[in-house]
Amino acid sequence: MKFIRDSIHGDIFLTQVEFEIVDTPEFQRLRRLKQLGMTYLVYPSANHTRFEHSLGALHLAGRVAGKLGLSEEDKKKIRIAALLHDVGHGPLSHTSEELLERYLNKSHERITGSIIRNSSISTIIERHGIEKKDITKLLQSSKIISGEFDVDRMDFLVRDAHHTGVGYGIIDLDRLINTMQIFKGELVVEEGGLKAVEALLVARFLMIPTVYLHHTSRIADAMFLRATERAIEEGLLRYEMLYKMDDYDVQNLFRNASGYVRDIGERFDERKLFKKACSKGWHELDAPLRDRLLKLRGRVEKLRKLEDEIAGDCKVASGYVLLDVPPLPYKEMRAFILRDGKLLRLEEASPLVKILNEAQKEQWDVAIYTPKERVEKVSKVELEDYV
């Protein structure tokens, strides 16, 4: 058994099969993928990677499996699944997910499954007597790996708060894990762990505007997305290679390009990002306009055409006006609290969760970005005239 020293969990112990997986090129690539993508432009110490996050998820998965009384065989599988849950991620955090889904019609979870089946990881897993289909099935269905209070979320909230220096990631992981159990086929938390669940959700609520949707990070992500699209259109990048690339590959691609793509790369290097010209929040937009804007998320060609129409009217070059429409701020949670032998939906058990769900709308806004020297002109744009 080997161990790796981690800044969050201390010593993380690895079995032989886990250690061999960690040493594969596919897993080592995660060392070169920043967990928070461009957020380092806001928080300079946010340079942690998907490599250490994946190790943290493995560690927590082992703890949860132990608490739930899973067999040693099932514990081995759930730890490996947690270790590999991000191996299909593209560069620069979740920003490239949009591109992978659009061009390859695959989520990063499906790409992860493909990597597990078709790389040296498959050989290692099978040599140790584990069916690779069992691992891919766990990635798709296990609430320990992907649920409302899964090991992925438990680790990244604490880790991201630590590395950004914000004080919102304080979660009682011990209490949360120690009050988990399987009840009628559902992963649930006993009532005694409700406050720990609430703390996790409050941490997420506070981290969203402070870190995950910080306006500077959103601007950088929007710039990266448009520049990468342009690189694909110009033949500088084959989209099927994107999930094999790391952050440094993308940066080098931008630096060695010309025209728009090179300009965006230089702006990243010099931190000369676009600025927010205007924005409108959830309650500032009427429902029909909100719906039309949200539909643009799945209609990229229409979105880019709209951006260029605004740019043309403002005498700005194509690609230098970006409309940012975040995903819906709220989705219904499938999470349960066990109280007196009965399952309660989390929203029923906790008035705080109901309040947080509604309050998430206050964190959502649509914004238009453009270079600093164009802000005054673009700030006069009324979305109603274009959408």
- Active-site residues, by number, are 108
Q: What is the DSSP letter of 208?
A: I
Cα 96 to chain centroid distance, Å, stands at 10
Answer yes or no: are the C-beta atoms of 251 and 224 closer than 8 Å: no
Answer yes or no: are the C-beta atoms of 274 and 223 closer than 8 Å: yes
Q: What is the DSSP letter of 192?
A: G
Please give the Cα distance from 340 to 129 (Å, whole number).
41
Q: What are the φ and ψ backbone dihedral angles of 248, each rounded to 5 degrees? A: -70, -35
In terms of Cβ atoms closer than 10 Å to its own Cβ (0-12, 13-18, 19+), residue 39 is: buried
Q: Tokens 């011990």 map to which residue?
A: 174
Q: Which residues contact 223 (CB under 8 A, 6 or more apart)?
A: 264, 267, 268, 273, 274, 322, 369
Structure tokens that stand for 334 in this block: 């499938």
Cα 182 to chain centroid distance, Å, stands at 27
Q: Which residues contact 374 (CB under 8 A, 6 or more apart)?
A: 277, 314, 316, 320, 321
Q: Tokens 């919102």 map to which residue?
A: 168
Nearest-CA neighbor of 363 among 221, 226, 211, 222? 211
Answer yes or no: are the C-beta atoms of 285 and 292 closer than 8 Å: no
Answer yes or no: are the C-beta atoms of 60 and 177 closer than 8 Å: yes
Please give the Cα distance from 333 to 202 (Å, whole number).
14
